[in-house]
Structure 1
Amino acid sequence: MNATRYGNEPAPPTQPGNGAMRKAEALRQGQAQVLEMITRDEPLCVTMALLMRLIEAQGDGMLCSLMLLEDDQQHVRSCAGPSLPPSYLALLDGLAIGPCAGSCGTAMYRRQPVVVADIMSSPLWAPYLDLVKPYGLRACWSTPIMLKDEQVLGSFAMYYREPRSPGPAELALTAVATHIAGIAIKREKNESELRRHREQLEALVQQRTGQLEASNAELTTALVQLQHTQRELVRTEKLASLGSLVAGVAHELNTPLGNAMLSAGSLVAHAQRIEAAVVQGVLKRSDLRQFLADIAQGGTLLTHNLARINTLIQHFKQLAVDQTTDLRSQFALHALVVRAVDAMSARADMAKHQVEVDIDPAIVMDSYPDALTEVLCNLLDNALMHGLPAGQAGTVRITTGIADGGNIRLALEDSGHGIADELLPRIFDPFFTTRLGQGTSGLGLYVTHNLVTGVLGGHINVESQVGHGTRFLIELPQTASRP
């Protein structure tokens, strides 16, 4: 039931300190709200405006402002002053700090609080009296906001419209305001610095990305050009090898062709001599017997040489088919190696060397004979060009064995002068040759390595010691994998 008062009955007394308690609670809650806004990265000036109102609510007639010191540490900028006229705050923007620059400019310059109880009589405000008179401001107390390293961030000021000096309550509120404002400004500066570094990093990343893209484009162009050049060199190497092979076969054909032509010419001469004897009527039985013997001998020589020519042509045709097609087929390894050796033996520089083939004729492979033939020809050519000593007889030995897993192990070994240890790791590199400028491009063993490891699906290694020859070891599946 509510109490009721009558007549002039005095009102019940209020509890002392209730207003101060309410203000203290409002200040506590307001501080929590401001700190929450700081952690949410709300705009600095919005947060500081709330802080100014919070401080102003703690006293009567108090007008608060917060100024920021620019990065040049020389000029000020207005951040918050919700109860001050906006036009007045605009007048403060860009002013320089100094020993006689009002309350705020002087406090930031001195790095210590400045209390001006009466603006109209203070020498610190003398240069600005005409500016401040229209706004009726009489007292201004300013405290610099600084970090621990004494870097000045800004200033907090209390204005009054009558002359007065601060008391303990105002000083306590100033300490609260400068502490919270320092946290907010420092966080804002840190965030601004992070944004600046982030932007610089993004710009740097974009610059580096552009440079990398340009470099990649240049490298791609260079790679395309290199691959084109490489294909051209490989094609040239193949054409040169084919030309050398044709020249060798032609050289080998010269001997049986010359013998065949000599035999044919001899037979024609014998026939003409017998024909003349018949016409003259002086043909004897003994002449006829001699003619038949000459015919038999000449026919035998002619048949032998023609057979040799036919064999060489068949071998050459087989090689030509293998090099210009990529057909997979079954073939006897021994026969393929012999054909390759016979074709290479037609070269003049093979005449003084001996090639030994020790391969089981029963080994049948299901693979790519063209690729394997080219591998053998390249290895034989390498032995002739680089392995076997010039002017001396040498030996090349080709053998086979069974490796782990049932693969065919093919070995080609020469009795040449060997390869230096420092050159062994590079012999399969493209364009590597020890006879640069002497008609070789350094692609023979590179092509060989690619054929063995690519088309034939195998492995190739080399063993060599200076003065003790070179041995190439090739391991191939007896049945090549399907592409």
Structure 2
Amino acid sequence: MADGEERGPSIEDDLRRQLEIAQSITHIGSWEWTIATGAVTWSDELYRIYGFEPRSVPITLEFFLSRIHADERDRIEREIQAALQHPGRFAYRERVVRPDGSLRTLDTVGEAIVDAHGASLRLIGTCRDITEVVARDERIRFYADVFEHAEIGLCAFQLDRKHEPPVLRLTAFNAATERLLGAALGGQLGQPLAEIIPAFDAAMQGAARAVAAGGAMQQLAPLRVHAVPGAPILTATLFGLPRHHVGLALEDVTAQVTGQVIQAGERRALEMLADGAPLADILSVVVRAIEQASVDTIASIVLLDETGTKVQHGAAPGLPEAFNAAVHGQPIGPRAGSCGTAMYRREPVIVADIERDPLWDDHRQLARQHGLRSCWSFPILDEEDRVLGSFALYHRAPRDIDDAARELMNRAAHVAGIVLSRRALDEQRRALVGRIEAAREDERTAIARDVHDHLGQALTALKLDVGWLKRRTSDETLLRKLEAMACSTDEILRSIRRIASDLRPGILDELGLRAAIEWQAEDFTQRTAIPCTVRAELTDLELERGLVTNVFRISQEALTNIARHASATRVEVTLGLTHGRLHLEISDDGIGMPEVGPRGTTLGILGMRERAWRLGGECTVKRRLPHGTVVTVVVPLRFPAERLA
């Protein structure tokens, strides 16, 4: 270089500058410690890593150790001593405290430089600031732990577009996924979703592909992965993940779904009970709810007969009719299968294998014929612990009961007990009401007979006496008085006949229901001026007195309601027989009424329903289109006892 020319940066300066830039970019600082002199040097980046301005403080070993976190200081001193005693490469991780109190995590890598005799001369090394890396790794480990230990199943699938339609392949899963699916997935990475979860139908797979392609999160309906006993009911939530992946969250909602199904069944059964529905229909609702909540289960309710010694069929729509017929009438006892024994012992009887259990010795062939292998039975008790029946679950394979099934059966037996107890009370109440009504009808008949016979005869005699007097006097004043007395006597006689008919129409007992209904319609027309036609296809059958009376009273109440509320111009009455049942229909063209449910609140309608129910039939009140109301009564035929003898 010529004299007087300014010298440019040397190669050494360039390298030093490049090193400083590289250290700044990578957050790596370098250091050197000369053992003989104790001198320590730090690079500018190492100063910055420790939170100081470059070359702002003198560095010594003691200063370095003072910046180490107190919990790690002793360990770092041991690391340094080990490096001096065993020259060569070394590495350790340390936490340092900056002047502002913040912590940084460093990875130190160094080497001990030795002389010809192997004695350590100096230590040199680098410190890399890995604080953010450690934090990120900790977050990753945390999320991995959450993923692995989550109680819900978490798994991921990649959208493979090499196929049409694209295939979702398993890429990750946690332990809960294996537990919920009941399968080990370690060897199924890369397998299609449809093979891993066969319950995912085409629509569900389409939804998963849509989410993987960037669609919104989707919540699928609950599904049962495997149709086997004890298999959980799962909810599946699909959510998007990066790089054409879809996440699948699986949660066991067996208890919730089962509870909802059972609650719905219980609510429906109690509504039907309040509505007066047939007992068999109510019990069938309970049975179906339990079957819906269980897998491969057939539910049954049997009743204890009035003698307390025999089984009566209650409801078992899932069992063969031949099996139900064979069970009906069987005696209960200490070895009477599951149900008969449960009612006899007044405690649950669990038979896991019918083929092996001695309780089924007398009934094993019957169960074998219909493919039944296990039966659990819980007695149905009322509030006073009286046995009403038994609730049972049958299976077509040997099966022992678990806690969930035991709780389910307890609940079902409790609800069945409520239904049976309430129905028994209703039947007792209605029987009492029926007896009261019968006594009232008898009293009405007696009063009507007394009024007609005694008062009628007395007034007839009085009328004859008045006529006798009229024939024997010529006094005009007296004749007018006697004529007025005769007219009053006639009016009183008509009133007596009307009162007697209202109490108990004689035609009802003398000529039967058909004639009484026709007379009732004619009387209705005379009183209201509303035409009332009767179409009677009933033959002159001699029907049981209680049936005739109650049907007549229902018709009477219906016509009374029409006269009071309907504003009708025409009434039609139909009386006939349909499939061995008496059928009465009364329709009008009036203003109509809101359709009355089974729990209609008007006393008149309730009374009609009660009368029909006591006869083993039903009474419905419905709107007639385009306007008007229809009252329909259907009851089974009943004949006098002497006719049946």
Larger RCO, structures 1/2 (Cα 8 Å, 6+ apart) = 1
Higher strand share: 2
